[in-house]
């Protein structure tokens, strides 16, 4: 079974123009999972989407797939 970070990476790679530039860094802080998503500069608009719809959908899917009642935060970083 894929981790939340691997799932996020696969989803984002299917949306962007530069899939090789996608990376996800996972960190755990007291049961809260933080996923830091980094994409190519030209792909930020694609990942965020109109009015943030794509980013919101990605967050919803990854949170739903997270194991248990674990809190998940996705941060799109530079």
Q: Which structural domain, as residue segments, surrounds residue 21? A: 4-77
pLDDT value of residue 56: 95
**Cβ atoms 35, 25 nearer than 8 A:** yes
Nearest-angstrom CA–CA distance, 56 and 48: 8
Ranges of H-type helices in 1-78: 4-13, 44-48, 53-65
Residue-wise pLDDT tens digits, 2-40: 788 999 999 999 999 999 999 999 998 888 899 999 999
Q: Tens of pLDDT along 53-68?
A: 999 999 999 988 887 6
CATH of the domain at 49: 3.30.300.20
CB 57 within 8 A of CB 42: no
The tally of domains found in the chain comes to: 1
């Amino acid at each position: 079974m894929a981790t939340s970070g691997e799932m996020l990476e696969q989803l984002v790679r299917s949306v962007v123009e530069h899939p090789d530039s996608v990376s996800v860094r996972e960190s755990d802080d007291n049961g809260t999972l933080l996923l830091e998503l980094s994409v190519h500069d030209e792909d930020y608009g694609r990942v965020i989407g109109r009015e943030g719809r794509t980013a919101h959908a990605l967050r919803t899917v990854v949170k739903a797939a997270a194991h248990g009642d674990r809190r998940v935060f996705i941060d799109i970083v530079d």
